[in-house]
Amino acid sequence: MSAHSFDAVAAVLLIPIGSAALLAALPGYRLTARLNVVASLATFLAALSVFVIDRPPPGPYMLIDDLNIVFIVLNTFVGFTTSIFSASYIAHELETGRLTPVYLRFYHAMYQTMMFGMNLAFVSNNIGLMWVAVELATLTTVLMVGIYRTHAALEAAWKYFILGSVGIAFALFGTILVYMAARPVVGEGQDGMIWTLLIEHAARFDPALLNVAFIFLFLGYGTKVGLAPLHAWLPDAHAEGPTPISAVLSGLLLNVALYALLRFKILMAANPAAIAPGPLMVTMGLVSLVFAAFMLYRRRDIKRLFAYSSIEHMGIIVFAFGMGGPLANFAGLLHMVMHSLTKSAIFYAVGHISQIKGTQRINRIRGLTVTHPALGWGFVVGVVAIAGLPPLGIFMSEFLVVSSTFARQPLLAIVLVFGLLLAFGALTLRLTSVAFGEPRGSKASADASYVPMFAHLALVLGAGIYLPPPLVTWFQHVARLLG
Amino acid sequence: MQMHSLAFDVSHTLAGGLVLISFMMLYQDRLYSLLNVFALHAVVLSLSVAWQAFVQDAPHLYITAIIALVFKAIVIPVALHRIVKQLGIHRDIEAAVGIGPTMLAGMALVALSMVLMLRVTADADPLAREDLAFALSVVLLGLLVMVTRRNAVSQVVGFMSLENGLVLAATGAKGMPLVVEISVAFSILIAFIVIGIFLFRIRERFDSVDVSALDDFRGERR
């Protein structure tokens, strides 16, 4: 049986990288856009197959456990829906001449390479390999952020590149320190980097070295999660790249870095003498939440607005995982899934909106529900969801975070609620001006595919009303793993 | 025993030399001289890695040493020289912060990394321990070069010296797997950055310190 299940891991990696090579070689928009969708669907199905067949035992490089299945399935699903959105978005970009066919080939190849990098980061059992995979995923997104080659896009890509590289350098230094801590116990060579072995022996590692390692890892991967004050690259990268990339950046790439952080958090928790990573995560999470909530008020660019909203939500998620315990971890996990689905749905809507109106400036977009009912109302539902109103899924996860915090640390909960209300105010303010009122700007009909957006919103709504018991048990189990 | 102490002394000297050359980078105010100092940095790194390969009897580390020598000490500095010439920025004096404060900050960072690393690694073997302390100093000094410069070329040089510190740390950690792969991955990353500068002619992070230009860039002007 194990031979079969190894195929699932291999497929999740080989389908993206194989199709990346194919997409780089093939000309023609229609063919490549469809191939991109098919490849993403195949990867998603391969990821789903892990549920039905036996899991492979952890090897020196690959690992499938209950924690990373959640991430892999979410990653490949959003990757698949984004590829559908990307097909209709890119068609419009080709018409208006913002992208040339050569760049399109490059774009599709990079899209699949990025999926490969992210999946590799999730399945790797080797902390060195995980680092290389995160670097690969970052590098591909940098190239895609700069793909329009406007002045602003290049500046954004450059900033992302430099800050991301410093982050990645810190993460590597932390990884080396973890190896140094493991070497006297686990032994020299490859074993000192295998996560499953590290976790077994973590109790006997030198706690002081482990502490310093975690600080570096937290700063390094935290830069990629977009935690304030290390977030500076994030709004620019979201605003200047193609919108499908904004969707995967917000919905997926931030999760990859978060996943790396969680792995090391579990490692720290396995050593009783090391510092608890919780307070650090709680502080950074709250700072990000409140900071981003204030920043939401000053935004004039619609993609930048939702980029700051991503910082806000990553803050909430890191806060929840930092609080720890079964309930807060459960809430954090649920919030992460809901945020990925909702935020990518919003970016799908924003992508079409900015194409129709020819601008990303908020004050030039008005009355969307009048001129484009389907798009406008989809956008309204998305923003209502991300602002945390019932009965949508984010309300439930935010409610769980708040209530579990109130029970343990009432003071922190007050700050949390303050940040949430602040962000809610900013988002409703912007929503009313964009969605309602006298229509402004172009009224051209949208040549868009609404399926991905409404599919995501339906999932978020469904999760808000009813969570299937198997899913709840699964998440509860993972929450216990996270300590 | 004699051999061991020789091994220790040589690697100690080379790692200390790297920290010293990092300091030299801090006060270079011309791009050409900065590039020359960086080439020296890469040469010393490659010697240090080669020495580690010899001492640890780990032949694969020679590959990392050769990459450092050929790629970072020759190819990249030559390429950057040409870019600087083509962009016509070789006369620029471009430190954003004065030399005095920069040197003081550098000393503080080295002191910080010594205190931090020597204290937490009290149980580790002395060679790895001092190597790690030096490596963290080089990393932090590289970061300082990046922060105090406005020019894209010198930021890249700062990043590369930071990365040299990481390679030093990785080779000092005896038996660490994937060192060669990681140094190759970093070389690819740097090649991308350099090509990016060349293709897009990025001179500075922001062309102007005018705040209104910044607002415009962020798309926030009303």
DSSP code string of A79-117:
HHHHHHHHHHHHHHHHHHTSS-HHHHHHHHHHHHHHHHH
A153/A43: higher pLDDT: A43
- Chain A contact for B124 (CB, 8 A cutoff): yes
Which of the 8 DSSP states describes residue A62? B
Compute the Cα dihedral for A420, A423, A429, A431 and give only its sign. negative
Cα separation of A277 and A323, whole Å? 10
Contacts of B216 (CB under 8 A, 6+ apart): none
pLDDT of residue B135: 92
Say if residue A204 is exposed, middle or buried (CB neighbours under 10 Å; 0-12, 13-18, 19+). middle
Contacts 24+ apart (CB under 8 A), A360-363: A360/A239, A360/A301, A360/A302, A360/A303, A360/A304, A360/B219, A361/A300, A361/A301, A361/A302, A361/B219, A362/A299, A362/A300, A362/A301, A362/A302, A362/A305, A362/A430, A362/A433, A362/A434, A363/A300, A363/A433, A363/B222
A212–B193 CB contact, under 8 Å:
no
Q: Is the pLDDT of residue B204 over 60?
A: no
pLDDT of residue B221: 46
Average pLDDT (A214-240) is 91
B185–A158 CB contact, under 8 Å:
no
Chain B residues within 8 A of A235 when measuring between CB atoms:
218
| 3-state SS, one letter per residue, for B11-64 | HHHHHHHHHHHHHHHHCCCCHHHHHHHHHHHHHHHHHHHHHHHHHHCCCHHHHH
B154/A173: higher pLDDT: A173
Cα separation of B38 and B161, whole Å? 7
What percent of chain B is modeled with pLDDT above 70?
A: 83
Cα separation of A461 and A470, whole Å? 18
Average pLDDT (A244-255) is 92
Which one, of B53, B49, B52, B40, lies nearest residue B67 by Cα? B49
pLDDT of residue B176: 82
Q: Is the peptide bond before A390 cis (omega within 30 degrees of 0)?
A: no
**N-term to C-term CA, chain B:** 73
Q: For the segment A328-358, what is each residue's pLDDT rounded down to a tens digit?
A: 999 999 999 999 999 999 999 999 988 888 8
Q: For the segment B37-78, what is each residue's pLDDT rounded down to a tens digit?
A: 999 999 999 999 999 999 888 888 899 899 889 998 999 999
Q: Is the pLDDT of residue A322 over 90?
A: yes
ipTM above 0.90, yes or no: no
Average pLDDT (A315-333) is 93
- The CA distances from residue B194 to A29, A133, A194, B36, B146, in Å, are 31, 21, 33, 17, 15
A132–B181 CB contact, under 8 Å:
yes
**Residue B222's pLDDT band (cuts 50, 70, 90):** very low
Cα separation of A180 and B173, whole Å? 6
- What residues does A440 pair with on adjacent strands? A366
Chain A residues within 8 A of B155 when measuring between CB atoms:
162
A161–B178 CB contact, under 8 Å:
no
Of A179-193, A386-400, B120-134, B142-156, the poorest mean pLDDT is in B120-134
- The CA distances from residue A124 to A61, A130, A444, A479, B103, in Å, are 6, 6, 47, 20, 42
Taking the CA of residue B110 and the nearest CA in chain A, the distance in Å comes to: 16
Cα separation of B212 and A78, whole Å? 38
Highest mean pLDDT out of A65-69, A186-190, A305-309 = A305-309
B177–A206 CB contact, under 8 Å:
no
Cα separation of B91 and B69, whole Å? 27
A176–B176 CB contact, under 8 Å:
yes
What percent of chain A is modeled with pLDDT above 70?
A: 99
Chain B residues within 8 A of A206 when measuring between CB atoms:
120-121, 123-124
pLDDT of residue B209: 34
Say if residue A374 is exposed, middle or buried (CB neighbours under 10 Å; 0-12, 13-18, 19+). middle
Q: At what angle do helices B179-200 and B60-67 cross, to 10 degrees?
A: 20
Mean pLDDT over all residues of chain A?
89
Cα separation of A410 and A78, whole Å? 35
Contacts of A205 (CB under 8 A, 6+ apart): A181, A182, A185, A271, A274
Average pLDDT (A283-287) is 95
- The CB density around residue B21, as the number of other CB atoms within 10 Å, is 21
- The CA distances from residue B152 to B69, B139, B216, in Å, are 23, 18, 21
pLDDT of residue B205: 44
Q: Among residues 230-269 of chain A, which lie with CB inside 8 Å of chain B? A: 235-236, 239
Q: For the segment B119-158, what is each residue's pLDDT rounded down to a tens digit?
A: 887 776 777 788 889 999 999 999 998 888 877 788 888 8
Task: Specify the residue for token string 């109130």.
Answer: A406
